[in-house]
Structure 1
């Protein structure tokens, strides 16, 4: 694995579906997240819950109906926001301003070429393990 310093001014947006995958949020929280994302310039928020755990991220991103079902009415214990095809500047601004929403900080991740093949539940589990190690 390689790491590189983020350029928080970089507005270059990678190819693909410009969106966030919002996992474990209630419908009301999802509405707040979506409004926040649009204000940053992220066009779409895909609300997901435990029923999506077995789906690969790439499957979710390629499904135009992903997240259109009714999400679980109760928020999940574990919440995550996974970014796809957003610029580094959008990512940084979204995270920096997240506290303004008045919600507990979720796990944050970015879809990468490697993680695109992971199942959503695997990614969430890995993020939880990383958080425990910090």
Structure 2
């Protein structure tokens, strides 16, 4: 019997990145080159798991931003590998496009079950801990 390897959904999730902005355009361009689907996130997605958001399912209702989730822009990537250079190439292309997105993350086996609110809170804590470096 062959083992079946499950592929992570190929997507990039954007939080607080406005459509039409330079950041959005840079991510869209890099996503096309990497064959990633771009999904814009809203406050209504805060209670949804990262796995559900990556496959395009929304499980939450209308929600206001959680008090501990700052409005700092974030880019969350799924389906690219770092060991073969795919993730690095994508991030480099986003930077070449002029995008400055302070929070960046990759979906991991651990974080895929987290809600968007939990992941954003953790990313913001890490960002503050390292001194707010972009």
TM-score by length of 1: 0.71
1:31-61 Cα shifts (integer Å, max 9, x gaps): 431122212x132111112221111111212
Which consecutive aligned stretches of 4+ in structure 1 deviate over 4 angstroms post-superposition? none
- Structure 1, unaligned stretches of length 5 or more? 1-13, 67-75
- Deviations along 1:53-102, one digit per CA (max 9) or x if unpaired, are 11111121233689xxxxxxxxx831111111112212111222332222
Matches within 5 A, 1:1-134: 15-29=7-21, 30-39=24-33, 41-63=34-56, 77-88=71-82, 89-134=85-130
Distance 1:65 1:57, change over 3 A: closer
Q: CA deviation at 1:126?
A: 0.4
- Supply the distance in 2 between the matched residues of 1:124 and 1:87 (Cα, whole angstroms): 21
Aligned residues: 111
- Greater Cα radius of gyration, structure 1 or 2: 2
Report the RMSD for the aligned CA atoms in angstroms.
Answer: 2.3
